[in-house]
Amino acid sequence: MDKINLSFLGTSLGYSISLFFIPLTILKATNSALLVSITYALDVIPYILFTPIIGWIGDKFNKKIVIIIGEAICLISSIILFFTPLTKEYAYLIISIGFIISTSSSLHHSIFQSIIPSLYATDTLPKANANIATISSITGIISPIIISSAFSFSYLNENGIILIMIFCYILSITSFLYIKYYHKKPEENENLFKGLITSWRFLNNNNELKNYSYLFFFSNFGLKMVFVSLIWIYSNVFQMENNQIAFNFIIIGVFSILGAKIAGLYIVPKFVARNVIITSLFLISMITLLLSLFKNSIYLTLLWGVVSLLSMIIVVSYFTFRQKNTPPELLGRIVSITRLISYLAIPPSAIISGYVVQHYNNEKIIYIISGSIMLLSCVFFYHRLKVKT
Protein backbone atom coordinates (compact mmCIF):
# COMPACT_ATOMS: atom_id res chain seq x y z
CA MET A 1 0.00 0.00 0.00
CA ASP A 2 1.49 3.36 -1.03
CA LYS A 3 1.72 6.34 1.32
CA ILE A 4 -1.33 8.20 -0.01
CA ASN A 5 -3.55 5.14 0.50
CA LEU A 6 -2.04 4.46 3.92
CA SER A 7 -2.73 8.04 4.98
CA PHE A 8 -6.30 7.84 3.70
CA LEU A 9 -6.80 4.55 5.54
CA GLY A 10 -5.70 6.21 8.78
CA THR A 11 -7.89 9.29 8.48
CA SER A 12 -10.94 7.38 7.20
CA LEU A 13 -10.79 4.77 9.95
CA GLY A 14 -10.21 7.40 12.64
CA TYR A 15 -13.14 9.49 11.44
CA SER A 16 -15.43 6.47 10.94
CA ILE A 17 -14.76 5.29 14.49
CA SER A 18 -15.52 8.76 15.90
CA LEU A 19 -18.68 8.89 13.80
CA PHE A 20 -20.02 5.78 15.57
CA PHE A 21 -18.30 6.09 18.94
CA ILE A 22 -19.18 9.65 19.97
CA PRO A 23 -22.98 9.38 19.44
CA LEU A 24 -23.00 6.01 21.25
CA THR A 25 -21.02 7.55 24.11
CA ILE A 26 -23.50 10.43 24.34
CA LEU A 27 -26.42 7.98 24.34
CA LYS A 28 -24.81 5.87 27.06
CA ALA A 29 -23.93 8.90 29.21
CA THR A 30 -27.17 10.88 28.86
CA ASN A 31 -29.81 8.51 27.45
CA SER A 32 -30.98 11.53 25.45
CA ALA A 33 -32.17 10.92 21.88
CA LEU A 34 -32.12 14.70 21.33
CA LEU A 35 -28.43 15.03 22.17
CA VAL A 36 -27.64 12.05 19.93
CA SER A 37 -29.55 13.73 17.08
CA ILE A 38 -27.63 16.97 17.70
CA THR A 39 -24.37 15.01 17.59
CA TYR A 40 -25.25 13.53 14.20
CA ALA A 41 -26.43 16.90 12.87
CA LEU A 42 -23.17 18.57 13.91
CA ASP A 43 -21.30 15.91 11.94
CA VAL A 44 -22.96 16.98 8.66
CA ILE A 45 -22.99 20.75 9.27
CA PRO A 46 -19.23 21.31 8.60
CA TYR A 47 -19.61 19.78 5.13
CA ILE A 48 -22.38 22.27 4.36
CA LEU A 49 -21.06 25.42 6.06
CA PHE A 50 -17.30 25.19 5.54
CA THR A 51 -16.87 23.20 2.31
CA PRO A 52 -16.68 26.19 -0.10
CA ILE A 53 -14.16 27.96 2.16
CA ILE A 54 -12.09 24.78 2.45
CA GLY A 55 -11.91 24.46 -1.35
CA TRP A 56 -10.56 28.01 -1.62
CA ILE A 57 -7.99 27.29 1.11
CA GLY A 58 -6.87 24.15 -0.74
CA ASP A 59 -6.36 26.03 -4.02
CA LYS A 60 -4.60 29.02 -2.42
CA PHE A 61 -2.25 27.30 0.03
CA ASN A 62 -0.05 24.21 0.07
CA LYS A 63 -2.49 21.28 0.05
CA LYS A 64 -0.07 18.95 1.82
CA ILE A 65 0.45 21.36 4.72
CA VAL A 66 -3.29 22.10 5.02
CA ILE A 67 -4.12 18.38 5.16
CA ILE A 68 -1.45 17.72 7.80
CA ILE A 69 -2.76 20.63 9.91
CA GLY A 70 -6.27 19.19 9.69
CA GLU A 71 -5.05 15.75 10.73
CA ALA A 72 -3.07 17.27 13.61
CA ILE A 73 -6.27 18.95 14.87
CA CYS A 74 -8.04 15.57 14.75
CA LEU A 75 -5.13 13.98 16.64
CA ILE A 76 -5.13 16.66 19.36
CA SER A 77 -8.94 16.41 19.66
CA SER A 78 -8.69 12.62 20.07
CA ILE A 79 -6.06 13.03 22.79
CA ILE A 80 -8.30 15.53 24.62
CA LEU A 81 -11.18 13.04 24.31
CA PHE A 82 -8.96 10.35 25.85
CA PHE A 83 -8.50 12.45 29.00
CA THR A 84 -12.16 13.56 29.15
CA PRO A 85 -14.49 11.66 31.52
CA LEU A 86 -17.19 10.08 29.36
CA THR A 87 -20.00 11.10 31.69
CA LYS A 88 -23.16 13.19 31.49
CA GLU A 89 -21.42 16.24 33.00
CA TYR A 90 -18.99 16.36 30.06
CA ALA A 91 -21.54 15.59 27.32
CA TYR A 92 -21.32 19.01 25.67
CA LEU A 93 -17.52 18.88 25.65
CA ILE A 94 -17.64 15.44 24.01
CA ILE A 95 -20.10 16.72 21.39
CA SER A 96 -17.83 19.73 20.76
CA ILE A 97 -14.83 17.44 20.26
CA GLY A 98 -16.86 15.43 17.75
CA PHE A 99 -17.74 18.64 15.90
CA ILE A 100 -14.07 19.68 15.74
CA ILE A 101 -13.09 16.26 14.36
CA SER A 102 -15.87 16.47 11.76
CA THR A 103 -14.81 19.99 10.75
CA SER A 104 -11.16 18.97 10.35
CA SER A 105 -12.19 15.81 8.48
CA SER A 106 -14.28 17.86 6.07
CA LEU A 107 -11.16 19.93 5.42
CA HIS A 108 -9.11 16.80 4.69
CA HIS A 109 -11.63 15.00 2.50
CA SER A 110 -12.38 18.03 0.31
CA ILE A 111 -8.76 18.88 -0.38
CA PHE A 112 -7.69 15.24 -0.69
CA GLN A 113 -9.64 14.76 -3.94
CA SER A 114 -7.94 17.80 -5.47
CA ILE A 115 -4.40 16.65 -4.62
CA ILE A 116 -4.72 13.21 -6.25
CA PRO A 117 -4.17 14.40 -9.88
CA SER A 118 -0.86 15.94 -8.74
CA LEU A 119 0.32 12.59 -7.37
CA TYR A 120 -0.78 10.18 -10.13
CA ALA A 121 -0.49 10.05 -13.91
CA THR A 122 -3.73 10.76 -15.79
CA ASP A 123 -4.12 7.20 -17.08
CA THR A 124 -3.85 5.80 -13.53
CA LEU A 125 -6.53 8.09 -12.03
CA PRO A 126 -9.36 5.51 -12.33
CA LYS A 127 -7.30 2.96 -10.40
CA ALA A 128 -6.25 5.57 -7.81
CA ASN A 129 -9.86 6.67 -7.25
CA ALA A 130 -10.95 3.03 -7.07
CA ASN A 131 -8.36 2.38 -4.34
CA ILE A 132 -9.59 5.38 -2.36
CA ALA A 133 -13.23 4.26 -2.72
CA THR A 134 -12.24 0.73 -1.67
CA ILE A 135 -10.51 2.01 1.46
CA SER A 136 -13.55 4.15 2.29
CA SER A 137 -15.78 1.07 2.00
CA ILE A 138 -13.42 -1.07 4.08
CA THR A 139 -13.26 1.46 6.92
CA GLY A 140 -17.04 1.69 6.79
CA ILE A 141 -17.07 -2.03 7.59
CA ILE A 142 -14.23 -2.11 10.12
CA SER A 143 -15.34 0.76 12.37
CA PRO A 144 -18.77 -0.63 13.35
CA ILE A 145 -17.18 -4.06 13.86
CA ILE A 146 -14.59 -2.57 16.26
CA ILE A 147 -17.18 -0.64 18.24
CA SER A 148 -19.98 -3.23 18.30
CA SER A 149 -17.52 -5.98 19.27
CA ALA A 150 -16.02 -3.80 21.98
CA PHE A 151 -19.41 -2.98 23.51
CA SER A 152 -20.80 -6.51 23.06
CA PHE A 153 -17.84 -8.56 24.32
CA SER A 154 -16.12 -5.96 26.55
CA TYR A 155 -12.66 -6.89 25.34
CA LEU A 156 -11.95 -3.22 24.62
CA ASN A 157 -13.07 -0.29 26.78
CA GLU A 158 -13.84 3.26 25.66
CA ASN A 159 -10.27 4.48 26.17
CA GLY A 160 -9.03 1.57 24.06
CA ILE A 161 -11.27 2.69 21.20
CA ILE A 162 -10.00 6.27 21.53
CA LEU A 163 -6.41 4.97 21.45
CA ILE A 164 -7.20 3.34 18.10
CA MET A 165 -8.43 6.72 16.85
CA ILE A 166 -5.21 8.37 18.05
CA PHE A 167 -3.11 5.72 16.30
CA CYS A 168 -5.10 6.20 13.07
CA TYR A 169 -4.39 9.93 12.96
CA ILE A 170 -0.71 9.39 13.78
CA LEU A 171 -0.57 6.91 10.88
CA SER A 172 -2.25 9.42 8.58
CA ILE A 173 0.10 12.28 9.49
CA THR A 174 3.33 10.28 9.31
CA SER A 175 2.35 8.71 5.97
CA PHE A 176 1.41 12.07 4.44
CA LEU A 177 4.65 13.69 5.60
CA TYR A 178 6.59 11.44 3.21
CA ILE A 179 4.41 12.11 0.16
CA LYS A 180 6.25 14.07 -2.52
CA TYR A 181 4.10 17.03 -3.46
CA TYR A 182 5.19 20.37 -4.87
CA HIS A 183 2.84 23.29 -4.38
CA LYS A 184 2.35 25.58 -7.35
CA LYS A 185 1.35 29.06 -6.25
CA PRO A 186 -1.74 30.46 -8.01
CA GLU A 187 -1.02 33.11 -10.62
CA GLU A 188 -3.71 35.42 -9.24
CA ASN A 189 -3.95 36.33 -5.57
CA GLU A 190 -7.74 36.00 -5.34
CA ASN A 191 -9.64 36.67 -2.15
CA LEU A 192 -12.24 34.21 -0.90
CA PHE A 193 -15.24 35.86 -2.56
CA LYS A 194 -13.57 36.32 -5.95
CA GLY A 195 -12.14 32.80 -5.82
CA LEU A 196 -15.57 31.27 -5.23
CA ILE A 197 -17.12 33.38 -8.01
CA THR A 198 -14.40 32.19 -10.43
CA SER A 199 -14.96 28.53 -9.59
CA TRP A 200 -18.75 28.85 -9.73
CA ARG A 201 -18.48 30.52 -13.15
CA PHE A 202 -16.31 27.63 -14.38
CA LEU A 203 -18.80 25.06 -13.11
CA ASN A 204 -21.73 26.94 -14.65
CA ASN A 205 -19.98 27.03 -18.04
CA ASN A 206 -19.05 23.33 -17.96
CA ASN A 207 -22.45 21.87 -18.79
CA GLU A 208 -21.60 18.21 -18.32
CA LEU A 209 -19.95 18.70 -14.93
CA LYS A 210 -22.77 21.04 -13.86
CA ASN A 211 -25.44 18.51 -14.85
CA TYR A 212 -23.65 15.73 -12.95
CA SER A 213 -23.56 17.95 -9.86
CA TYR A 214 -27.31 18.55 -9.96
CA LEU A 215 -27.99 14.91 -10.83
CA PHE A 216 -26.07 13.80 -7.74
CA PHE A 217 -28.18 16.04 -5.54
CA PHE A 218 -31.25 14.00 -6.49
CA SER A 219 -29.47 10.64 -6.49
CA ASN A 220 -27.98 11.38 -3.06
CA PHE A 221 -31.43 12.44 -1.87
CA GLY A 222 -32.91 9.11 -2.92
CA LEU A 223 -30.07 6.95 -1.63
CA LYS A 224 -29.94 8.65 1.78
CA MET A 225 -33.69 8.27 2.22
CA VAL A 226 -33.23 4.50 2.32
CA PHE A 227 -29.82 4.43 3.99
CA VAL A 228 -30.77 6.48 7.07
CA SER A 229 -33.70 4.12 7.72
CA LEU A 230 -31.88 0.83 7.15
CA ILE A 231 -31.16 0.25 10.85
CA TRP A 232 -34.82 0.93 11.68
CA ILE A 233 -35.96 -1.46 8.93
CA TYR A 234 -33.65 -4.27 10.08
CA SER A 235 -34.52 -3.70 13.74
CA ASN A 236 -38.27 -3.06 13.61
CA VAL A 237 -39.48 -4.70 10.42
CA PHE A 238 -37.27 -7.79 10.55
CA GLN A 239 -36.76 -7.86 14.36
CA MET A 240 -32.98 -8.28 14.11
CA GLU A 241 -30.48 -8.04 16.96
CA ASN A 242 -27.53 -5.63 16.76
CA ASN A 243 -25.04 -8.33 15.74
CA GLN A 244 -27.36 -9.46 12.92
CA ILE A 245 -27.75 -5.88 11.71
CA ALA A 246 -23.96 -5.46 11.73
CA PHE A 247 -23.57 -8.66 9.68
CA ASN A 248 -25.96 -7.35 7.01
CA PHE A 249 -24.08 -4.04 6.84
CA ILE A 250 -20.85 -5.98 6.37
CA ILE A 251 -22.35 -7.81 3.38
CA ILE A 252 -23.46 -4.49 1.89
CA GLY A 253 -19.95 -3.12 2.49
CA VAL A 254 -18.37 -6.05 0.64
CA PHE A 255 -20.50 -5.20 -2.40
CA SER A 256 -19.19 -1.60 -2.18
CA ILE A 257 -15.60 -2.84 -2.22
CA LEU A 258 -16.32 -5.01 -5.26
CA GLY A 259 -17.94 -2.05 -7.01
CA ALA A 260 -14.92 0.19 -6.46
CA LYS A 261 -12.52 -2.45 -7.76
CA ILE A 262 -14.65 -3.31 -10.80
CA ALA A 263 -15.03 0.37 -11.65
CA GLY A 264 -11.31 1.12 -11.48
CA LEU A 265 -10.18 -1.93 -13.45
CA TYR A 266 -12.90 -2.62 -16.00
CA ILE A 267 -15.48 0.17 -16.28
CA VAL A 268 -14.11 3.70 -15.94
CA PRO A 269 -10.99 3.30 -18.15
CA LYS A 270 -13.07 1.86 -21.02
CA PHE A 271 -16.43 3.63 -21.09
CA VAL A 272 -17.70 7.21 -21.37
CA ALA A 273 -18.57 8.74 -17.99
CA ARG A 274 -22.13 9.77 -18.91
CA ASN A 275 -23.02 6.25 -20.08
CA VAL A 276 -21.61 4.69 -16.90
CA ILE A 277 -23.32 7.17 -14.57
CA ILE A 278 -26.75 7.22 -16.23
CA THR A 279 -26.91 3.44 -16.72
CA SER A 280 -25.82 2.75 -13.14
CA LEU A 281 -28.29 5.25 -11.68
CA PHE A 282 -31.12 3.84 -13.78
CA LEU A 283 -30.39 0.35 -12.43
CA ILE A 284 -30.21 1.72 -8.87
CA SER A 285 -33.61 3.40 -9.19
CA MET A 286 -35.23 0.23 -10.59
CA ILE A 287 -33.73 -1.94 -7.84
CA THR A 288 -34.94 0.50 -5.17
CA LEU A 289 -38.47 0.40 -6.59
CA LEU A 290 -38.21 -3.39 -6.73
CA LEU A 291 -37.60 -3.47 -2.96
CA SER A 292 -41.21 -2.38 -2.41
CA LEU A 293 -42.39 -5.74 -3.80
CA PHE A 294 -40.56 -7.83 -1.19
CA LYS A 295 -40.54 -8.06 2.58
CA ASN A 296 -37.50 -10.26 3.06
CA SER A 297 -34.28 -9.29 4.84
CA ILE A 298 -32.11 -11.42 2.52
CA TYR A 299 -33.52 -9.71 -0.58
CA LEU A 300 -33.05 -6.31 1.05
CA THR A 301 -29.41 -6.96 1.91
CA LEU A 302 -28.50 -8.46 -1.46
CA LEU A 303 -30.36 -5.87 -3.52
CA TRP A 304 -29.02 -2.97 -1.47
CA GLY A 305 -25.60 -4.56 -1.83
CA VAL A 306 -25.99 -4.32 -5.61
CA VAL A 307 -27.10 -0.69 -5.17
CA SER A 308 -23.91 -0.04 -3.17
CA LEU A 309 -21.83 -1.73 -5.88
CA LEU A 310 -23.37 0.45 -8.59
CA SER A 311 -22.99 3.54 -6.39
CA MET A 312 -19.25 2.92 -6.14
CA ILE A 313 -19.04 2.64 -9.94
CA ILE A 314 -20.74 6.04 -10.18
CA VAL A 315 -18.41 7.56 -7.55
CA VAL A 316 -15.20 6.38 -9.24
CA SER A 317 -16.45 7.46 -12.67
CA TYR A 318 -17.53 10.90 -11.47
CA PHE A 319 -14.40 11.58 -9.42
CA THR A 320 -12.19 10.66 -12.38
CA PHE A 321 -14.22 12.81 -14.80
CA ARG A 322 -14.10 15.78 -12.42
CA GLN A 323 -10.34 15.50 -11.94
CA LYS A 324 -9.65 15.22 -15.68
CA ASN A 325 -11.92 18.08 -16.70
CA THR A 326 -11.05 20.71 -14.11
CA PRO A 327 -7.92 22.92 -14.17
CA PRO A 328 -5.61 22.06 -11.23
CA GLU A 329 -5.77 25.61 -9.87
CA LEU A 330 -9.58 25.33 -9.54
CA LEU A 331 -9.93 21.69 -8.55
CA GLY A 332 -10.10 22.25 -4.78
CA ARG A 333 -12.96 24.73 -5.11
CA ILE A 334 -14.81 22.66 -7.73
CA VAL A 335 -14.59 19.55 -5.53
CA SER A 336 -15.92 21.61 -2.62
CA ILE A 337 -18.80 23.18 -4.53
CA THR A 338 -19.95 19.92 -6.13
CA ARG A 339 -19.62 18.14 -2.78
CA LEU A 340 -21.69 20.89 -1.16
CA ILE A 341 -24.47 20.48 -3.74
CA SER A 342 -24.55 16.75 -3.00
CA TYR A 343 -24.50 17.19 0.80
CA LEU A 344 -27.39 19.67 0.72
CA ALA A 345 -29.63 16.70 -0.11
CA ILE A 346 -28.88 14.88 3.16
CA PRO A 347 -30.84 16.93 5.76
CA PRO A 348 -34.18 17.03 3.85
CA SER A 349 -33.93 13.38 2.76
CA ALA A 350 -33.21 12.27 6.33
CA ILE A 351 -36.10 14.35 7.71
CA ILE A 352 -38.58 13.02 5.13
CA SER A 353 -37.42 9.45 5.71
CA GLY A 354 -37.78 9.85 9.48
CA TYR A 355 -41.22 11.44 9.09
CA VAL A 356 -42.46 8.57 6.92
CA VAL A 357 -41.12 6.00 9.38
CA GLN A 358 -42.66 7.74 12.40
CA HIS A 359 -46.09 8.54 10.93
CA TYR A 360 -46.71 5.69 8.49
CA ASN A 361 -44.52 2.89 9.86
CA ASN A 362 -44.13 1.60 6.31
CA GLU A 363 -40.74 1.16 4.65
CA LYS A 364 -42.29 0.56 1.21
CA ILE A 365 -43.26 4.24 0.99
CA ILE A 366 -39.58 5.12 1.42
CA TYR A 367 -38.57 2.72 -1.36
CA ILE A 368 -41.17 4.15 -3.75
CA ILE A 369 -40.33 7.81 -3.05
CA SER A 370 -36.59 7.14 -3.23
CA GLY A 371 -36.73 5.08 -6.42
CA SER A 372 -39.11 7.51 -8.13
CA ILE A 373 -36.92 10.54 -7.37
CA MET A 374 -33.83 8.79 -8.75
CA LEU A 375 -35.65 7.44 -11.82
CA LEU A 376 -37.19 10.80 -12.76
CA SER A 377 -33.89 12.64 -12.28
CA CYS A 378 -32.11 9.95 -14.30
CA VAL A 379 -34.52 10.38 -17.24
CA PHE A 380 -34.37 14.19 -17.03
CA PHE A 381 -30.58 14.43 -16.95
CA TYR A 382 -30.20 11.69 -19.57
CA HIS A 383 -31.85 14.04 -22.06
CA ARG A 384 -29.80 17.01 -20.86
CA LEU A 385 -26.55 15.06 -21.18
CA LYS A 386 -27.46 13.84 -24.68
CA VAL A 387 -26.82 17.38 -25.88
CA LYS A 388 -23.19 17.77 -26.93
CA THR A 389 -21.37 19.60 -24.13
pLDDT confidence tier of residue 141, bands split at 50, 70 and 90: confident
Alpha carbon distances (Å) from 339 to 8, 150, 225, 318: 18, 33, 18, 11
Question: Are the folds of 1-185 and 205-389 the same?
Answer: yes
For residue 37, what pLDDT is reported?
Answer: 67
pLDDT confidence tier of residue 389, bands split at 50, 70 and 90: very low
pLDDT (tens digit per residue) in 177-230: 988 887 777 666 667 778 788 889 999 999 999 999 999 999 999 998 998 788
Q: Give the domain ranges of the chain.
A: 1-185, 205-389
Angle at alpha carbon of residue 105, lines to 208 and 328, rounded to 5°: 40
171 vs 162: CA distance, rounded Å: 14
pLDDT (tens digit per residue) in 272-321: 999 999 999 999 999 999 999 988 999 999 999 999 999 999 999 999 99
Fold type of domain 205-389:
Growth Hormone; Chain: A; (1.20.1250)
CATH architecture for residues 1-185: Up-down Bundle (1.20)
Within 10 angstroms of residue 180's Cβ, the number of other Cβ atoms is: 8
Asked if residue 23 lies in contact with residue 39, where contact means CB atoms within 8 angstroms, the answer is: yes
Model pTM score:
0.82
